[in-house]
Amino acid sequence: MSMKDRMSGNEAVAYAIKQINPDVMPAFPITPSTEIPQLVSTYIANNEMDTEFIPVESEHSSMSATIGAEAAGARSLTATSSCGLALMWEELLLAASDRMPCVLALVNRTLSGPININCDHTDSMGARDTGWIQIYAENNQEAYDNFIQAYPIAEDERVHLPVMICQDGFITSHAVENIILNEDPDVKDFVGEYKPEEFLLNPGKPIAIGPYAISPYVMEARKAQEEAMENAREVIKEVAGKYRQKFGRGFDFFEEYRTGDAEFIMLIIGSAAGTAKQAVDDLREKGIKAGVLKLRVFRPFPAEEIAAALKNAKAAAIMDRCESYNGHGGPLASEVRAALFENNVRIKVLCYTYGLGGRDFTVESAYNVFDELSQMVNDGKEFKQHRYIGLRSSQSPEVR
């Protein structure tokens, strides 16, 4: 059974947390994720859940407490954004290396400077190499569904890695949309009870967590993490399949939108995928074979699958909502181009940076991207590889 409702993305994630009813949630407020712990603490105060809520003095402390609770054998989570994620940086690496299957609700916000509270992916993409699984949402429904799938992925014995569930700040976190909610017993049945194999508060089996590692052991530990991340690929697909079977919705590594015969494909993450889909629909009516590949899972990175999805296109636009300062594009651009090369897929590619600090990405912006792909393929026009969309300039109002 399911229930229809209207919720913001933050409300949807908080409701999923209520349904899961984890053991411990330490949290510290930061815009635009503040509503999530605020709503959860309200549920607790109203006796709708019995999670232990811990108000802490900083985001570093919130992740430290999350790790501590998880190490003790409690299902734990926290929520943050932007500078909050940066402040817990050290702890992100510890959570992954200590193989803690905790969950982080990340509401994407640009990371200073200059100071700005609006959306881009600077925060989560900066943490892409910390050892966390990363899953992104296009809309409120996906934010809700992704969160419910997080614990079955993280806690699987083949994985034991933390999961970061990401959604776009203000765009989805505060905008209200129609949403389909699952019944509480069904969510509890899907997620199941947490039964840790090893934990600190087990008097019959003392263990050490996070001990100092001398040189002969560090590489082996890192390799074990890498293998767990590879294992997560299969587990993510399994969990998504079970979720689809139980609730009628489920998501693979990415969604292919009208890509079957597409000549030009835009590869994009997050809420802007909806804008890109509208542009594709409009262009299809004009006979232009455009499509969208919306990436849901960034870690583990589905390199082979992306290459296979793009191999029949004439050209692809790779869209990054953050900047790597390498002169060649963002992290998505770097990894997709590497994936194409490694899998011997030779198509033309243009790399774009868009939406930094909340800059609008419009349907017209998407039109221009597809037009440039067409010009590059059909007219032989050469473009600078690393391009900004919507940059204020007297030369071009859209792409530079």
How do residues 171-183 score in pLDDT, each as one tens digit?
Answer: 999 999 999 999 9
What are the extents of the domains in the chain?
2-247, 254-388
pLDDT value at position 199? 93
Kindly state the tokens that stand for 166. Answer: 């990401």
Band (2; pLDDT cuts 50, 70, 90): confident
Indicate the residue type of 345. V
Band (400; pLDDT cuts 50, 70, 90): low
pTM value?
Answer: 0.96
pLDDT value at position 113? 84
Please name the helix (run of DSSP H) or strand (run of DSSP E) that holds residue 352, with its range, or none.
Answer: strand 348-353
Under CATH, what is the fold of the domain 2-247?
Answer: Rossmann fold (3.40.50)
Please name the helix (run of DSSP H) or strand (run of DSSP E) that holds residue 67, with its range, or none.
Answer: helix 59-71
pLDDT value at position 393? 73
Pairwise CA distance, residues 294 & 277, whole Å = 9
What would the pLDDT profile of 186-238 be if each residue is shown by its tens digit?
Answer: 999 999 999 998 999 998 898 989 889 999 999 999 999 999 999 999 999 99
- CATH code, 254-388: 3.40.50.920
- Residue written as tokens 């629909």? 281
Distances (CA, A) of 52 to 45, 195, 245: 11, 18, 32
Handedness of CA 310, 315, 321, 327 (dihedral sign): positive
pLDDT value at position 394? 47
Distances (CA, A) of 129 to 96, 97, 167, 218, 298: 10, 12, 19, 16, 11
Angle at 366 between CA 360 and CA 370, to 5 degrees: 155
Task: Tell me if domain 2-247 and domain 254-388 are identical in fold.
Answer: yes
What would the pLDDT profile of 81-102 be if each residue is shown by its tens digit?
Answer: 999 999 999 999 999 999 999 9
What would the pLDDT profile of 254-302 be if each residue is shown by its tens digit?
Answer: 999 999 999 999 999 999 999 999 999 999 999 999 999 999 999 999 9
Band (397; pLDDT cuts 50, 70, 90): very low
